[in-house]
Amino acid sequence: MKLTTTLAVGTALSLFASTAFAYDADWKRGRVYYRSVCTSCHVTQPVGTINPSSKTKAEWAAYVKADKHGKGKETVKQYVSKTYRESIKSGNKAAEKFIAVPETELLADIQLFLQRGAKDGEAPASCN
């Protein structure tokens, strides 16, 4: 009986600990970063802007999971890195504003924005 109780308490504590520190993504912050950083760069590139509604949720999830950007030459994570934000902060207010945000949180924010704004998302979005 004592062993069962100890296991149950231990399991409950580990579940609590794993959920207590889980990050709840902020799609609004993701939208600001995507529109200010991603879209501003894509406007100057031959591909042009890429609206969140140009892909489905599954396509965006696969894109982020594959971590391939620029025909596989770069990673997606590179563009949310602190190093990248440092390099563009003088000309980009969003990069400067979010300079201290952990990379994993910022990527989660962008992912949530893309999921919400996807073609089949709850709020299909364009970045005009």
Q: What is the pLDDT of residue 128?
A: 53
Is position 33 within any domain? Answer: yes
* pLDDT tens digits, one per residue of 51-90: 899 999 999 999 999 999 877 788 999 999 999 999 999 9
Burial class of residue 99, CB neighbours in 10 A (0-12, 13-18, 19+)? exposed
Is position 3 within any domain? Answer: no
25/75 Cα distance (integer angstroms): 21
Is position 7 within any domain? Answer: no
| Structural domain harbouring 39 | 26-117
- pTM attached to this predicted model: 0.77
Is position 104 within any domain? Answer: yes
Is position 87 within any domain? Answer: yes
Domains held by the chain: number:
1
Is position 15 within any domain? Answer: no
Is position 57 within any domain? Answer: yes
